Amino acid sequence: MISPTWVSGSTATIPATAPEIHSSPQSWGWSPEENEKLGLKYSDDDSDAAWLAKLLRLGLLPEGYIYPKEQRAVRDLLRRRSRLVQQHTANVLAVQNLFSRNRGRSLSANAIRRLTPETVGELLPDVHLALAVQSTLLAMRGQEAAIDLLEREACAQVKSRPEYRHLLSTSGIGQVLGLTILLETGPIERFARVGNDASYSRLVGSERLSNGKRKGRGNTKSGNKYLAWAYLDAANFAVRYNPAIKRYDQRKRAKTNGVVAIKTVAHKLARACYYMLREGTDFDVNRAFA
């Protein structure tokens, strides 16, 4: 039998006595002689290991990227922060829904943040409804404190890096988005081309074409969801506050629709950030949106 220990570390060797592996439209497996003994579709851990070893030896086995261990914990702080922000938003919506159902009008998010146990009792005479809101407010206060703590710690670990300062020069990118983009991207050298970075950020399409006709679509969700969120959020802020980017967005909306337009702006920002991280330069809106 073929031992799976042939695949070890980042190298693989195939013994000269190893059976040859064939590929056919129906199946792949052992050589015809081995198939007679083991069955036409026989496979186990040994045969799988041999197949992987052969692919690795030929340079055909895709290799995944392992994020540096010393930076992984800081990156995970921001992911935890993102989860807390989602929970905080859910609590705000729950309070708004409760007021809307019981008083016929809702409160803004800022008004909810200013609520105190005393004002809740005045707005909701029912003691049980007031208690439900007060307990939600307690959870929100704890989440706000945790979010602030995680932000400060992540910023303290990254703020001295020059790449972070370059990202902050980009229109639409503030402290949290800059931290997210920097830590989720990792070493920019891992991406050979700008298109690889944009694809990892879920900002490119995926189509299968044959003779100029669409035959299917790939998995556009394959990539980093945190980077996709960060660039789309940055695009919305950039369109709001940068006149040049706003004009670009309006030209795109006139030709397509709002979703495609904002995704195009996010793609442009992702490409700009790639070159900024690679070359160590600040953001140039004329170069990015020429």
Mean pLDDT (the chain, rounded):
85
- Asked if 14 contacts 5 with a C-beta cutoff of 8 angstroms, the reply is no
Confidence of residue 86 (pLDDT cuts 50, 70, 90): very high
For the segment 172-180, the average pLDDT, to the nearest whole number, is 94
Q: Kindly give, in sequence order, each residue whose CB lies less than 8 Å from that of residue 241, ignoring residues fewer than 6 positions away.
A: 171, 172
Give, as one character, the DSSP assignment of residue 4: G
The structure's pTM equals 0.77
Span 269-273, mean pLDDT? 96
Q: What's the N-to-C CA distance of the chain in angstroms? A: 61
pLDDT at position 290: 79
Higher pLDDT, 79 or 33: 79
Q: What are 220-264's pLDDT values in tens digits?
A: 778 899 999 999 999 999 999 999 999 999 999 999 999 999 999
How distant, in Å, are the alpha carbons of 72, 193, 264 from that of 82? Answer: 16, 29, 24
pLDDT of residue 210: 85
Question: Distance between CA atoms of 107 and 97, rounded to whole angstroms?
Answer: 9
Using the predicted structure, report yes or no on whether residue 20 has a pLDDT greater than 50.
no
Greater pLDDT, 210 or 9? 210
pLDDT cut 70: percent of the chain above it: 86
Distance CA(235)–CA(201), nearest Å, equals 13
What pLDDT score was predicted for residue 34?
Answer: 56
Q: Given pLDDT bands bounded at 50, 70 and 90, which one contains residue 216?
A: confident
pLDDT digits (tens, 9 = 90+) for 92-151: 999 999 999 988 888 899 999 899 888 888 888 889 999 999 999 999 999 999 999 999
pLDDT at 105 (0 to 100): 85
Determine which of 18-27, 43-52, 101-110 has the lowest per-residue pLDDT on average.
Answer: 18-27
Q: Is the pLDDT of residue 213 over 60?
A: yes
Q: What is the DSSP string of 168-224?
A: HTSTT--HHHHHHHHHHH--GGG-SSHHHHHHHTT-S--EEEETTEEEEE--TT-S-
Please give the pLDDT value at position 241: 94
Find the mean pLDDT for residues 59-69: 84
Once rounded to an integer, what is the mean pLDDT over residues 192-212? 88
pLDDT of residue 75: 94
